[in-house]
Structure 1
Amino acid sequence: MKLKKFIAILSVATMTAGLAVGCGSSDSASSDEKSSKSESDWDSSNDITIVSREDGSGTRGAFIELFGIEEKKDGEKVDMTTDDAQITNSTSVMLTTVAGDDYAIGYVSLGSLNDTVKALKIDGEEASEQNIKDGKYKICRPFNIATKKGEDNEVAKDFIAYIMSKEGQQVISDNGYIGDDSAEAYAGSKPSGKAVVGGSSSVSPVMEKLIEAYKKVNTGAEIELQTTDSTTGMTSAIDGSYDIGMASRELQDEEKDKLDSQVIATDGIAVIVNKNNTTDELSSDQVKTIYTGDATTWDEVVK
């Protein structure tokens, strides 16, 4: 009798365990189903949320030029970005905007790209440092710094010498940008004092790293960083508000007349979409049709 009772209890326990495992498998399957459903919910017939940067942004200036969104009319360059585009005023806002909207498209500095969004291949090429070096990924632009002609701030001069040195260019490479591999070692005078650096929000993240590294070799220097935009960076360098201005684009002719400038790095521009977007690649022409407003839904560009 005792043996029969034990077998009965064992059978019940086994059935209970089996039910528990079955329930667990069901929950797991349900979870996988939800995940799969979430991915397949993306609908290409929805409107594209076009996100662009503000006027004065060097990233916007380079983006519209590289994709042919800037056109000449009556001898002047005209930005043809659609009026329907949402405007963001910084790299971080661009990233959070695209990450929060399944149907958004935007663009950021390659060095600022993170895993909250997905970078698209453009014309079959991935946005990567190596592809830029190899000349395969064409959507790239210079990072410039500029000083007013006749600038005599010794700290600013020495900091620029550090940026262009082997050590400074290594900081640039370590942060995902393309520097000068042939630069010579830093041999500055390490003066004491203060310099103000300001401008492009795309250049700002790597400039912050450069400032941190420079302060380790010149503890007597104080470098203040102000993040604005490329145009403000140049105009403020001209009027003396900034000792060093930053721009994530080429300098304009009127800026070149009043400033001494140099390229500190090359950076790619990544075209980004939400991670739920099933699109992995666009051509340059497709990007242009989106940003000029000629295509308004995803299925017009993604067949």
Structure 2
Amino acid sequence: MKLKKMMALVLCATTVAGLGLTGCGNSSDNSTAGDGTSAAKESGDAGKTDASDFSGNITVLSREDGSGTRGAFIELFGIEEKNEAGEKEDMTTVDATITNNTEVMMSTVAGNEYAIGYCSLGSLNDTVKAVKIDGAEATTENVSNGSYKVSRPFNIITKDTVSDVAQDFINYIMSADGQEVISNDGYISVAEGEAFTSTGASGKITIDGSSSVSPVMEKLVEAYKKVNPNAEIEQQTTDSTTGITSAIDGKCDIGMASRDLKEEETGVKATKIALDGIAVIVNNDNPTDEISSDMVKQIFTGEVTKWQDVK
């Protein structure tokens, strides 16, 4: 019996050590991140760990260059600053792990107890937890009433003149029917159009761009094709910058962007189709429920690197 107990204890210790290594987000000194909440669970504490007792190195997750979500995030939290030459510079820590779309961002945070990232509010699900920012919850209601200030536009990018079928689809998006699809999908409608009547135009529409806009665009495409089966629509998901560039170059009819156009992005126009919040997300086992906007900036610029220092 003693031998069996000893073997069981050794096996348990080996398993815990393995889980601690799996929780590491990158090759920096996150290998020490395992003595906070996990330790409380190992001791048999069934209660929720207090945020002040949660310790370990923070795994910062960000989006790729060209992402409209990243562009809006760094602007809204002051992570983008002007350098000595007066040019805007992204000050995101070099230790950040880069994810290339919304789904990868959420799944990575869901799999790492010490991770923090951000995603579209409309894409948020229960695999991760959105923290309050400056006391305000990340909800569509709070974005609408202005209490949750971390929000950005969803835009479609087009030339001044588009094909008849593309214009029919755009009319659908801005109609009462299209805006209802948007609001039902967890985003905030921006137009009060009338009920939609299709012209029945036929042809192909190509769409490309933001992975944040893409989910609601898929719903809009699906709904539109029911009222105009003559339309053939091909949608690709890349990022906001690619969507805008593709629209400028004529490679797509409609670009998707979760940011506004930059001064140098000319020859196209942006039409706002929805408003979306950006949720700051942590792992569901992270006891942190609220972070100030200034602390978010300090975390993402690398000034604060440990959860026990998050106030």
- Classify the TM-score, shorter chain: 0.7 to 0.9
1:14 maps to which residue? none
2:188 aligned residue: 178
The reply to whether residue 290 of structure 1 matches residue 296 of structure 2 is no
Q: Which residue of 2 aligns with 1:195?
A: 205
Q: 1:35 to 1:163 in 2, by over 3 A?
A: farther
Structure-2 residue corresponding to 1:160: 170
Q: 1:50 to 1:167 in 2, by over 3 A?
A: same
Look at both structures and tell me which one has the larger radius of gyration over its CA atoms: 1
Please give the secondary structure, in 2, of the residue aligned with 1:246: strand
Instruction: Confirm whether residue 72 of structure 1 aligns to residue 82 of structure 2.
Output: yes
1:60 and 2:74 aligned: no
Return 5+ residue gaps in structure 2 as ranges.
1-40
Corresponding residue for residue 230 of structure 1: 240
Q: What pairs up with 1:1-303 in 2 under 5 angstroms?
A: 36-37=45-46, 39-40=48-49, 44-73=54-83, 74-151=85-162, 153-180=163-190, 182-255=192-265, 257-302=266-311
How far does the alpha carbon of each residue in 1:164-188 deviate from its partner, in whole angstroms, 9 at most, with x for none? Answer: 0000000000000000352222133
Counterpart secondary structure, 1:105? strand
SS of residue in 2 equivalent to 1:271:
strand
Q: Distance in 1 between matches of 2:50 and 2:189?
A: 42
Distance 1:291 1:224, change over 3 A: same
CA contact (8 A) 1:197 1:224 kept: yes
- Shift of the 245–181 alpha-carbon distance from structure 1 to 2, 3 Å rule, reads closer
Q: Report how many aligned residue pairs link the two structures.
A: 269
State the percentage of identical aligned residues: 64
Letter aligned with residue 96 of structure 1: S
Distance, in Å, in 2 between the alignment partners of 1:177 and 1:127 is: 12
CA distance in structure 1 between the partners assigned to 2:147 and 2:196 by the alignment: 32
1:39 Cα shift? 5.0
The C-alpha deviation readout for 1:121-168, integer Å capped at 9, x for no partner, is 0000000011111110000000000112333x2211111010000000
Asked if structure 1 preserves the Cα contact closer than 8 Å seen for 2:110 and 2:128, the reply is yes
**CA displacement 1:70-123 (0-9 Å, x = unmatched):** 001111100000000000000000000000000000000000000000000000
Distance 1:174 1:41 in 2: 36
Task: Say which SS state the counterpart of residue 73 (structure 2) adopts.
Answer: helix
- Matched AA of 1:141: R
- Report how far residue 301 of structure 1 moved: 1.4
What's the Cα RMSD here? Answer: 1.8
Shift of residue 50, structure 1, vs aligned partner: 0.1
In structure 1, C-alpha distance between the alignment counterparts of 2:196 and 2:173, rounded to whole Å: 9
- Partners of 1:37 and 1:102 lie apart in 2 by 17
Quote how far apart the aligned CAs of 1:294 are: 0.2
State the 1:254 CA deviation: 1.8
Q: Distance in 1 between matches of 2:50 and 2:233?
A: 49
Query: What do the CA deviations read for 1:231-282 (whole angstroms, capped 9, x no partner)?
Result: 0000000111110000001111122x21022000000000000000010000
For residue 40 of structure 1, report the CA deviation from its aligned partner. 3.9
CA contact 2:99–2:105 (8 Å) conserved in 1 = yes
Please, which runs of 5 or more residues in structure 1 have no aligned partner? 1-31
Residue 33 of structure 1, CA deviation: 9.2
Could you tell me whether the CA contact under 8 Å between 2:175 and 2:191 is conserved in 1? no
Q: Measured at CA, do residues 62 and 282 of structure 1 come closer, stay the same or move farther in structure 2, by a change above 3 Å? A: same
Partner of 2:19: none
Asked if structure 2 preserves the Cα contact closer than 8 Å seen for 1:44 and 1:297, the reply is no
